[in-house]
Amino acid sequence: MENGKRASWSGQLAFVIAAAASAIGLGNLWRFPYLAAQYGGGIFIAIYLVLVVTLGFTLMVTEIAVGRKTQQAPLTAYSLLHRKWGFVGFLGTIIPVLITPYYCVIGGWVLYYLKAYAQIAFTGVDVLGEGAANSGAFFSSFISAPFAPFGYGLVFILACAAVIVLGVKNGIEKSNMIMMPVLFVMAIAISLYVVFLPGSGDGLKYYLVPNLDCVTGPDGRFSIALLGKTILGAMGQMFYSLSLAMGIMITYGSYMKKTDSIEKCVRRIEVFDTLIALIAGLMIIPVVYMFAVKTGTDVHDAMNAGPGLMFITLPKVFATLGAVGPWIGMGFFLLVAFAAATSAISLFEACVASACDMLKIERKAATFFTTALIMFLSVFSALGYGAWGHVKLHVFPNDGGMQFLDFFDFITNSVLMPVVAIATCIFVGWVMGPRAVIDECEAGGCKMKAKGVYTVMVKYLAPALMVALLISEVCRALGIGGWKI
């Protein structure tokens, strides 16, 4: 609510940019390149693209339509549609409440690295130490420090809160208009630099050329089980990357005008998100490949996912680039900071909008309460590698235990998000009926082209695929079946 009226985007483009800004995040930068490299390059990319335009399309259209139809954030949207299905909205609201704090803590890590690279670039003082050769020690001493991870996370949280409190048009829209173009320009510039580096060819081949090893068993024969794993890996990534099942698309859809075409917007969001994921691969894989060959490291090991790739391996790689290294490092971490900030803002907004709609309070009050809650919850993830490093949380009795950040990540990404997606498909496909979503898509007078695909997907295929994803994620956490991701 803004001045008693529901906020709205200034136009279709503003909505597409906001939703793309939410989708483009750490998932595109530190997860997609790694998965593509591990799962046979071009094969993974092809499977990913098919999933984006079918399953991703279905889930995103559904969420945006639910938001626009009800004009509510997730917490109240489902109960408005059906009294008994309000629990889906409740679960869908818990997800951003749990993710935002740890995502902001990681945002704080990015700010710390951005500051370090700016220092090296402008003053020449090698704060990373020995040309980043010991970036592993630099990273672990930072995340295990008593206060710094919380302090940087706090700066990140407050920056997001400052944008949110300004509202949809003046805050979210305007900040996206600055951050997104910078992100695109940086990504294109860095990837061009990498692609034209002498010797980048082998790394590019490794990334883009389909490698059948990922679907071939030890006996050299095609393995259906391995193909299944590749498909599930691509599906998990697509789900994560498109910001699905975390209340965001419902919230952003609730600010959309009836005259705008949901179908066209979703296609554009998919293009932007996938483009940045592919560009991220061009930025990262060839240099990491060259680095691995040069140092005699196993390429698969060098290409590890998540924090290790971004905060330990890449600094080592930047250090080998000579005088431009610190500038590339600074540009890269600025890009990552913007990608993380626009995604964190969308997660934050899902929480704030839910509080506004449920409690019927103004944005300022809701932002204040939400910020306090997120600050409090961020303490656990910020200190989980340091002062509280000894605390291990268990989901199952014999799962080995997880740190706070990994625990929140597992509960949301591996369990709650697939559960919410399954429940949403059952609700829309079998209780409310796909027709309601199709009608919402056609409300502005434009015909929905993919009606048939949508109906089949939402009723049958999407719930089945999501159940498979949920099972595989739980197996992965328990170490059953040799899952890699």
CB nearer to ligand PFF: pick between 186 and 319: 186
CB nearer to ligand PFF: pick between 14 and 21: 21
- Residue 12 one-letter amino acid: Q
Residue 274 interacts with ligand PFF (CB under 6 A): yes or no: no
Residue 26 interacts with ligand PFF (CB under 6 A): yes or no: yes
Site string for ligand PFF, 90-119 (x = CB under 6 A): ---------x---x----------------
SS3 (DSSP) at 374: helix
Q: Which of 7, 9, 12, 28 binds ligand PFF (CB under 6 A)?
A: 28
Task: Provide, rounded to whole angstroms, the least separation between the CB of residue 475 and ligand PFF.
Answer: 20
CA distance 46 to 50: 6
Q: Which of 12, 413, 424, 472 binds ligand PFF (CB under 6 A)?
A: 413
CA 318 vs. chain centroid, Å, equals 24
Q: Is 402:392 a contact under the CB 8 Å cutoff?
A: yes
Residue 25 interacts with ligand PFF (CB under 6 A): yes or no: yes
Q: Which stretch binds ligand PFF (CB under 6 A): 26-34, 381-389, 430-438, 450-458?
A: 26-34
Q: Is 12:260 a contact under the CB 8 Å cutoff?
A: yes
Site string for ligand PFF, 229-248 (x = CB under 6 A): -----------xx-x-----
In three-state form (DSSP H/G/I as H, E/B as E, the rest C), the secondary structure along 221-286 is CECHHHHHHHHHHHHHHHHHHCCCCCCHHHHHHCCCCCCCCHHHHHHHHHHHHHHHHHHHHHHHHH
Handedness of CA 230, 231, 236, 239 (dihedral sign): positive
Task: Provide, rounded to whole angstroms, the least separation between the CB of residue 33 and ligand PFF.
Answer: 12
Nearest 5°: the CA angle 141, 145, 150 is: 125
Site string for ligand PFF, 351-380 (x = CB under 6 A): ------------------------------
**CA distances for 451 relative to 23, 168, 325, angstroms:** 24, 31, 50
Size of the site for ligand PFF (CB under 6 A): 13
Residue 76 interacts with ligand PFF (CB under 6 A): yes or no: no
Residue 30 interacts with ligand PFF (CB under 6 A): yes or no: no
DSSP per-residue codes, 316-333:
HHHHTTGGGHHHHHHHHH
CB nearer to ligand PFF: pick between 18 and 81: 18
Residue 149 interacts with ligand PFF (CB under 6 A): yes or no: no
Task: Provide, rounded to whole angstroms, the least separation between the CB of residue 30 and ligand PFF.
Answer: 9
Q: Interface residues with ligand PFF (CB under 6 A)?
A: 23, 25-28, 99, 103, 240-241, 243, 343, 412-413
